[in-house]
Structure 1
């Protein structure tokens, strides 16, 4: 005959077993859906990029919470890491981050993409906005977020971050990439005693790109990055329209394109500041800085420099006669050196005024 105490022990044991079974089932479901990974994987994320990886936007960037972090050869960078989903092949995505100080050797052209700035709109750079010193770049089906955060307590030094997204992209993934890149840069800067001005949490980054005919508009309606050119004789030079990005005095790079009646970019104007200017000059083999101009063979160009606050590096302004890679032609057949010089002067003067820069010097190119 079973006693009451024995019955209670049986019931207690049954409840405990059922509770453990429920916990096991819940854990299996959560693990299978990626709600949490293994301790090793979580630890790898915490250690990634020398412990500076900001994880807030990873799920958005990679459309998954089941992630793993891989060590990357730092290649002389302050830190480097890669985060990827468990899927392989076309279904898989990955995010690569590289961090460096602006005082170290500039990265390769493959990372900064400045070697495409004469080829139509391939070297696109839209401002991040939200108070961040950064841009969204697009080339060859890949998006990159570049952020350059000046150290306010260490003159002429900035923490530069490059985040590349490999895989399917949309507004959500791009916003996630922006968050991871900027927040990782800020976290790394703080870790190393570099005090930086941070922006607001990034939201609503767009994958919209310039280049399609619908992105062109009359020069008279320019109000963003091409606003300075409204009073120029660009229409006479064969480029009565523009393709532009919103104006942003925090962005380390500004792009503006003058467009023909056929909606083809004929001239590209670019401004580079601080760390971005240094990277651009390095990509040109320091030819601009030495007074020789860009090294793109027989490309036609004009360039200028200016002294700007927060950096000993002079800012650089460049106008290129653009080549159309699709047709292997120049949408503006005949390059006008005088038009290029005057247009670049208007662009550089306007940019300098917006940034508090002085001593604008225009140099004729090829």
Structure 2
């Protein structure tokens, strides 16, 4: 009789979906070695019943995949990968650092709210990346990447940012890395650079391009800029100089801590591209900060918006950009380097 009751109870639970819900909840609790932060998951995946599974991959501290309910193109997926900055650099496809010459592909907006993180965009895919320095372990950071595959808007991206930052914080605590965490993310914008209406005169720069105001760049081509808000917590900063045709012609980038280490390991392999670079010593890490300027390639027209690379202009613009960035971060000893 007891077995019959249990069997009937099982049928009821299965038929009402209660068992599936319990199983999904269990999978979320175990995901990413038990560090998956579930706040923001439903918003990120636009789903009331997400489920998770572990993801393989060497070099990662832990990794997991979370699926929304639904099927086909209506189903969103969130991929999370966590690693120590002291481990080998991740693949180029994960970091995108090897594409700094390729238009606005590597653009990154600061997450804000006190987080050392950025929101990246590349052709339909958004990625939240956060690098939390271990204050009790010099030059070691926990780095987390969250890739959202599916519908993207301000709600889903805020959810993506929350899951990635809070999972990084949970993992850091679990593995003994004391970090300075930011506040709960309450809004992440899907705005991205590259469209003509995102360009403005250099004289109006107030964020990541403000260093170029009042310099030789203001009198030279390209005459306009595309920028993101300045944020001294972000591990990456980028500024674009735009031609009269509203095409990004030069890209200026700054990388700090774990991001600088990863950038150096993959980006300079493309020695056939026109660029200038600089370094600086920063108090937050023994890893040097890296600043780079690239002449950009336009994938839409298969050409360079700036036909001829000017080494003297590049050095002048990079010097102003790197000097301003370093000052904002308390970095010293800015050095303009020769090409590798």
Cα deviation digits, residues 213-257 of structure 1 (max 9, x gap): 110000001010000000222244311110000000000000000
Q: Identify which of 53, 69, 91 aligns with 1:70.
A: 53
Using the alignment, how far apart are the partners of 1:298 and 1:281 within structure 2? 16
Give the superposition deviation at 1:88: 2.0
Give the superposition deviation at 1:279: 0.8
2:18 matches 1:44: no
Q: Identify which of 308, 314, 319 aligns with 1:340.
A: 314
Cα deviation digits, residues 79-100 of structure 1 (max 9, x gap): 0000002322111110000000
Contact 1:341 1:364 in 2 (8 A): no
Give the superposition deviation at 1:342: 1.0
Contact 1:37 1:66 in 2 (8 A): no
Cα deviation digits, residues 96-124 of structure 1 (max 9, x gap): 00000111111000100112211111111
Give the superposition deviation at 1:297: 4.2
Where does structure 2 lack aligned partners over 5 or more consecutive residues? 1-11
Q: Identify which of 128, 132, 151 aligns with 1:145.
A: 128
Using the alignment, how far apart are the partners of 2:126 and 2:226 within structure 1? 19
Using the alignment, how far apart are the partners of 2:102 and 2:21 within structure 1? 46
Using the alignment, how far apart are the partners of 2:121 and 2:191 within structure 1? 10
2:236 matches 1:253: yes
Using the alignment, how far apart are the partners of 2:159 and 2:32 within structure 1? 17
Give the superposition deviation at 1:310: 1.7
Contact 2:21 2:49 in 1 (8 A): no
Using the alignment, how far apart are the partners of 2:38 and 2:144 within structure 1? 15
SS in 1 for 2:193: coil
80-89 or 311-320, which deviates more: 80-89
Aligned to 2:262: 279
2:300 matches 1:317: no
Aligned to 1:109: 92
Aligned to 1:326: 300
SS in 2 for 1:38: helix
Contact 1:37 1:67 in 2 (8 A): no
The equivalences for 1:62-211 within 5 A come to: 62-211=45-194
Q: Identify which of 253, 257, 278 aligns with 1:304.
A: 278
Where does structure 1 lack aligned partners over 5 or more consecutive residues? 1-23, 285-293
Using the alignment, how far apart are the partners of 2:198 and 2:24 within structure 1? 43
2:207 matches 1:224: yes
Contact 2:48 2:69 in 1 (8 A): no
Using the alignment, how far apart are the partners of 1:172 and 1:70 within structure 2? 23
Using the alignment, how far apart are the partners of 1:120 and 1:193 within structure 2? 40
Cα deviation digits, residues 272-314 of structure 1 (max 9, x gap): 0000001111113xxxxxxxxx232421110000000121110
Using the alignment, how far apart are the partners of 1:116 and 1:174 within structure 2? 23
Q: Identify which of 348, 352, 357 aligns with 2:326.
A: 352
Using the alignment, how far apart are the partners of 1:92 and 1:199 within structure 2? 30
User: Which contiguous aligned blocks of 4+ residues in structure 1 show a shift greater than 6 angstroms?
Assistant: none
Contact 1:267 1:319 in 2 (8 A): yes
Give the superposition deviation at 1:37: 4.8
Using the alignment, how far apart are the partners of 2:199 and 2:20 within structure 1? 47
Give the superposition deviation at 1:262: 1.4
Give the superposition deviation at 1:43: 1.0
Q: Rg bigger for which structure?
A: 1
TM-score, normalised relative to structure 2: 0.93
